[in-house]
A and B are shown apart, each in its own frame.
Chain A
């Protein structure tokens, strides 16, 4: 595989590129869904190919093919350079690349129980069983899902990189729905789209779906007759899973350097952050320290090297409430005058690598969910995301959760249905006055982060734990 990548790079350089790299990838994917006690869908996918990136002037050219024979990969390298050269019709300033360690290495994620080697019937029995349990508990629609990715990459660059990696990821989840007059209710476990990590099937065993099936079914039924979340301003406690999405949307995307530079303005959007304020802008309260750390064992955004060959390393993004870092690639870092990259990945051989979140999450605080509830006289506790929306600068957000609880005089009270909250990112984060500690920190995985044109789906991780925010607008309805 290294030979194919090397030929492609040599061809791109021979055609006139001043830098080129190539990734040969072999990707295997398996997914199963079950519904109401039956397997609904079983799909497997196996793809191989090479993607070549060539730099000419101000533009990347990229070409990808599934054929790995010598002639095909050389032609792919030449096509990448030809495509980059065509960009000269609409040129910008030459793009440079920030320096990186040039390594020849091999890396693999930890995996105790190979998920693709387990029998399909065992995996299917798990999903069928939990959906049957939820159905028997009285819900009309019960669904469960697992997904497995097994990815091998061979990366070669014209600077001398030669790195192979094998990353195995998997996860699972379940949800149920109930229907009432004019509304539907939904409950999920352990997250609204499941929990995922760079791990083997041991991750799925650890979340123990069967132990939670009856509970979420009962909650979905109870929500149908629960009072609607009141509208107004109140203290808001968010569970860890919802916090992971809050971080993803209002911190992770906002600190992507390509967005800040305007390179994503046409689609994903830009950012409310101004590079000139890096190091001096207050992002949130003193409790807020966010890192981007692709070295976290088992988290979904972990790897040995990113798709530019930069070794995985942790960066501070927000330290004690101050904005101090970004997610960058070698080109965007150079453009911004920064000296670090390491956050560039592609979702397959056929897509160009771009800035993606790694594991962007909070460092733990001094509190606990229990202490937050005890310390709250009048508020709402919300958990498990149901809807998410944020503007193209990543400031104005509105999120809906599956379930809420009234908090009165330090006690968790009655259920509330259709809870929503809205706010402006920096104001919201500035209002965070309690944050749970290490015992409640989880590395939540997001397997479906969309970005780029053509569209790419990224895998990101988000260390998160419960937190409390003061004076938040809740209960927005149509």
Chain B
């Protein structure tokens, strides 16, 4: 038994000793995070931390409470159990309690790279050096990060699970003074973070965006690069593809309906080789693939035990810490071409070739939903926009503001192309972060995007 499993078992014993009728579930994790941050082409903040985390939930006499600590001494664990039981006793009756996860196997241990888990600051600094050198004189800013999480889950119903994962990532910009270009990646292993390739890519984009023109508001065909597509997908997930939002009737989701273009499918799979999430959720339910959208038809909703009970279905293994408040969220999400998609291109550049007049957008920034059901978002472009005319990139465009429904942007007939090339964007992997731990998306060519303003307002 590992130290984490042993700690989880001790917490359950303490709960049982205090109240034999209490239901209890505990997650014990060991997390490390190291991030080397640079700006103006020098490292200015270089940080690391290592911590334990014990999260306990008890349900006793119909009442529920949760408590967490970062200490694992016998005294600290006793205090955790005592305060959690006391809180539950003073709480009101929990009418939405859906019971503990029964014993069931977990078939994956997670994706782990030892060299990433123990990466020294020199490894991150070397990647930063490579990025800066490849940018060849441009001012650079961003970070290189390595992190790992090991976790053990146990509950008083007999379910137990362990898993671990690592993630290495780099996300940075090169700056000319008039324009920025971005490049990013996330992987299981730090050896897959190529600072030189990212620096060269960011610098090329920055230089291509130096001379900018203003653009009139209006509807434009767009090619969204993976950075912008990641924001679009995250907006759909957070606001709508969440069992709690569906249970409360504040989601746009209608299962079984063709809500999106047949050219796209969306799924969550914490068992694939690029996943950085743990192989079980916050309730100890094993993760498995969940198809969210298949050929444009909404097919699945992430559920935890509570939201599943509210909707009369089964949990899909998407409980997150604090899920009573936030709901059930997908963890390792991928967007790709649907099986009937006849407009797959190899690269972003190939998507651009088919555009008569439109825009190429690198990233979206500061996007916020105006309405959770229509999913109308406002936000801005960042790190580069270019005009496309007759299949060729033209002038760079200054920052644009948009006000656009994310659902309408992907509606049937709206997706004109999907790239085969994809990008994995950096996400948090610690259990306390909840939600997305990896997001892999292609570039998309969309028929219409509503630009409502420019840099001048």
Chain A residues within 8 Å of B, Cβ to Cβ:
33, 38-49, 51, 58-66, 79, 82-84, 86-87, 89-93, 95, 119-121, 124, 128, 140-141, 177, 179, 182-184, 261-267, 269, 350-352, 354, 386-392, 395-396, 398, 400, 418, 420, 422-424, 427, 453-455, 473, 476-478
Contact = CB atoms under 8 A, between A and B. Distances in A.
B358 to A, nearest CB: 18
A396 B91 contact: no
A121 B90 CA distance: 5
B399 A454 contact: no
Contacts of A387: 368-370, 378
Interface in B2-53: 33-52
Contact of A389 (B35, B49, B68, B378): B378
Contact of A262 (B40, B43, B120, B382): B40
Given A45-B69, A90-B128, 12 more contacts: A38-B92, A41-B325, A44-B67, A60-B44, A62-B45, A83-B48, A265-B139, A354-B45, A386-B370, A473-B457, A477-B376, A478-B378
B1 interface: no
Contacts of B33: 454
A398 B401 contact: yes
B374 A183 contact: yes
A184 B372 contact: yes
A212 to B, nearest CB: 22
B48 A476 contact: no
The secondary structure that dominates the B interface is strand
B94 A60 contact: no
Contact of A44 (B35, B68, B171, B172): B68
Contacts of B325: 33, 40-41
Interface residues of B, number: 95
A355 B368 CA distance: 24
Interface in B326-378: 365-374, 376-378
Contacts of B122: 86, 89
Contact of B248 (A141, A263, A427): A141
Given A59-B45, A424-B457, A43 B66 contact: yes
In this complex, the member of A184, A386, A423 whose beta carbon has the largest number of chain B beta carbons within 10 angstroms is A184
Interface string B424-457: 0000100000000000000000000010110111
A263 B453 contact: no
Nearest to B40: A262
A390 B408 CA distance: 23
Contact of B70 (A39, A66, A119, A264): A66
B404 interface: yes
Contacts of B367: 389
B46 A179 contact: no
Contact of A64 (B49, B139, B453): B49
19 contacts: A45-B68, A59-B44, A59-B46, A65-B50, A79-B48, A83-B34, A87-B121, A90-B129, A92-B42, A120-B90, A179-B250, A262-B139, A263-B40, A266-B37, A352-B47, A400-B368, A422-B457, A478-B370, A478-B452
A49 B31 CA distance: 14
In this complex, the member of B48, B95, B377, B405 whose beta carbon has the largest number of chain A beta carbons within 10 angstroms is B48
A323 to B, nearest CB: 20
A128 B141 contact: no
Contacts of A41: 66, 322, 324-325
Nearest to B72: A66
B80 interface: yes
Given A86-B122, A89-B125, A265-B175, A453 B35 contact: yes
B47 A454 contact: yes
5 closest A-B pairs (Cβ-Cβ)? A92-B42, A86-B121, A266-B141, A87-B43, A120-B90
A89 B40 contact: no
B76 to A, nearest CB: 8
Given A43-B66, A90-B128, A140-B249, A62 B40 contact: no
